Amino acid sequence: MTNGSSPSRPSSYHLSPPTSPRGSLSTSTSLSQRKSIRELPPLPSQHRSTTPPGTPPSTLSPDFLEAVPPPPPKSQRSPSLSRTSYTSHISQESLKSAPLSPSASVSSPPLKHRPQSLNNILDAGSPSSQGKSKVSLVPSEGEDLDAFHVRNTYAQLDMSGVKGDGYTEGVERTRARIGDSRVSQANAAAAIGDGTEKQGDLDPREVEVLSSIDRYGFFITPNHERLVLLPSLPFKQKLTNVSTGPPNAPTTGTSLRSLPPPQPPIKELSRIGKWERMLRPQKPQPGGNPEGWYIKPTKEGKLLERVYKGIPDRWRSVAWEILMSRFTSKAIREKGLGIEEVRNMNLDVLREDYLDGMEKPSSYDIQIDLDVPRTISGHVLFKTRYGAGQRSLFHVLHSFSLRCSTCGYVQGMGPLAATLLCYLPPDQVYASLVRLHDHYDLHTIFSPGFPGLLEAIYVQERLTQQMMPGVYKAFQDQTVSTTSYATKWYITCFANSVPFQTQLRVWDVFLAEGGDVFVVLAVGIVWVFRDQITSSSANFETILSLLSSFFVPEDENALMSWVGKVMTDSTIRGNMRRWREEWKELVKNGKDATALL
């Protein structure tokens, strides 16, 4: 680029890792204009742009979105062909160009053009990455017209995309209808994508946004009430029964004025190299992307240890898929389920389910649409109304709401899907939610009455009583129920209780070890604040306020090391299994109502 010229988008600038089969297939097919349905303005003609096959690897972060051609009609579609929009996180390192070697320099050049990783996800609205949804363009028999308007709006915008995706607010079309005035109609029509904006120079507003995002794609630090430091010293103490703290201990933790920015993990480049050497590709595809990955047999003994130390962002999408596949297979064996369940958990089968669900109405569509724009605030992927991220989130939650008639859709599913979308393509996010629902027992968390939540709380209380009898007595004396502060921890898998970077590390371990991780983390938070809880000045309000805070670890490694120590304690894990069985007996005998604080 010459001096004084506008920033440009070189087609050769890629940051996609060898993390999953993400070949950049392309077509050159045009879409005809479609008539407006209700308030949605008509869509302009579109042309699919082409993307060179294959992408070179990056050092630190996966690409956001790769375009693939739409699927054929279901009657012609093979199980392995799916409509996919590959998504992953944006990191500050996404603005850097570095070779694969873990010893590579990561000096950051001035931002001159949008990283290809971000180009890919913002191009998701173009026809090159979305198949045509014919069924969603007409209402189903008996479908609520407002719900159809929602579903139809997302279907139409899948074909065109929206302008300014990732750096403008967008135009509301469903929660509040487009007005009848010429100005409203003109603004709505102008916001529909035309397929050319990603081919020209960067808009100055886009440059400004991309220059300010952090390594995870947040351009605004989320605001949280009651930011409290989670000190590291208690995590370094032995796992023994502890007595009450000093009677004059303070009743509050150390408050923070703002959430500190995420810091690069310790030894990140070194750990990237270790994971690279530990992983092996399966069936390389044209373009260099493998069909999948597996752990090198000689490194099996290192896997869990490295998970606890933190999976490098560059390898997180690969690692999560491996961990979920392993845990699911183990759960199927332990439950004595047959080959049919193995087949049902196959990624190709689940991708087909996802696509089929997109063409069906859901009674939850209106509520899902209300929740989509407020699921993750301040993240570039979900910033623009009806942008690629919001559309992907809607489609995933829509299809998943049809999966289980008992659970349907609940708000807690949104943060789970949104976090997964930061690393995985939508169809794989759907598959992940199914695995979490069926074999990580999130079905019991989301079912009416939240039976799995109550079981987890029972185990948490028993472990608290065993490790901190003084704290348990303080809860009894002050009538503090565990459900009053811990419910949101379990419903969202700690998505809104710790910083995003900490949440990712917790999820790394959760996907490897299962739901006991959340119970141990909950006990760990109480462990840190045991002196405040048992203080002579403590009361119901001070305890509940403290435990309802947003917790910022002083040292993430100390926190995860403590969780690891508890999880590897055979006595504690054995007790946790016994307590889960105890709870099931209490429920069976109708004695569960009085079993919790």
Of 409, 430, 465, which residue is a domain's last? 409
CATH number at residue 474: 1.10.472.80
Residue 105 lies in a domain: yes
Residue 555 lies in a domain: yes
Closest CA to 138 of 359, 312, 333: 359
Other C-beta atoms closer than 10 Å to the C-beta of 585 total 10
Give yes or no: residues 523 and 460 share one domain: yes
Write out the two tokens for 127: 């026809």
Residue 559 lies in a domain: yes
Residue 543 lies in a domain: yes
The DSSP symbol for 240 reads: S
Distance CA 520, CA 578 (A): 15
Give yes or no: residues 461 and 333 share one domain: no
The number of domains in the chain is 2
Give yes or no: residues 507 and 399 share one domain: no
Domain that holds residue 343: 1-224+313-409
Of 382, 409, 436, which residue is a domain's last? 409
Give yes or no: residues 54 and 195 share one domain: yes
For residue 31, what are the β-bridge partners?
46
Residue 179 lies in a domain: yes
Residue 264 lies in a domain: no
Give yes or no: residues 362 and 493 share one domain: no
Give yes or no: residues 111 and 191 share one domain: yes
Strands 279-284 and 290-295: antiparallel
Give yes or no: residues 404 and 455 share one domain: no
**pLDDT tens track of the chain, all 597 residues?**
444 444 444 333 233 333 333 333 333 333 333 333 333 333 333 333 333 333 333 333 333 223 333 334 444 433 333 333 333 333 333 323 333 233 333 333 344 444 444 444 444 434 334 444 555 678 888 999 999 999 999 999 988 899 999 899 999 999 887 777 777 788 888 889 876 666 677 888 888 888 889 999 998 766 777 899 999 999 998 887 777 778 889 999 999 988 888 877 888 999 999 999 999 998 777 777 788 899 999 999 999 999 999 999 999 999 999 999 999 999 999 999 988 888 899 999 999 999 999 999 999 999 999 999 999 878 999 999 999 999 999 999 999 999 999 999 999 999 999 999 999 999 999 999 999 999 999 999 999 999 999 999 999 999 999 999 999 999 999 999 999 999 999 999 999 899 999 999 999 999 999 999 999 999 999 999 999 999 999 999 999 999 999 999 999 999 999 999 999 999 999 999 999 999 999 999 999 999 999
Give yes or no: residues 6 and 124 share one domain: yes
Give yes or no: residues 373 and 474 share one domain: no
Distance CA 59, CA 544 (A): 43
C-alpha distance from residue 401 to each of 116, 394, 446 (Å)? 33, 10, 11
Residue 180 lies in a domain: yes
Give yes or no: residues 477 and 401 share one domain: no
Residue 209 lies in a domain: yes
Of 377, 409, 441, which residue is a domain's last? 409
Distance of CA 363 to the CA centre of its chain: 24
Give yes or no: residues 463 and 568 share one domain: yes
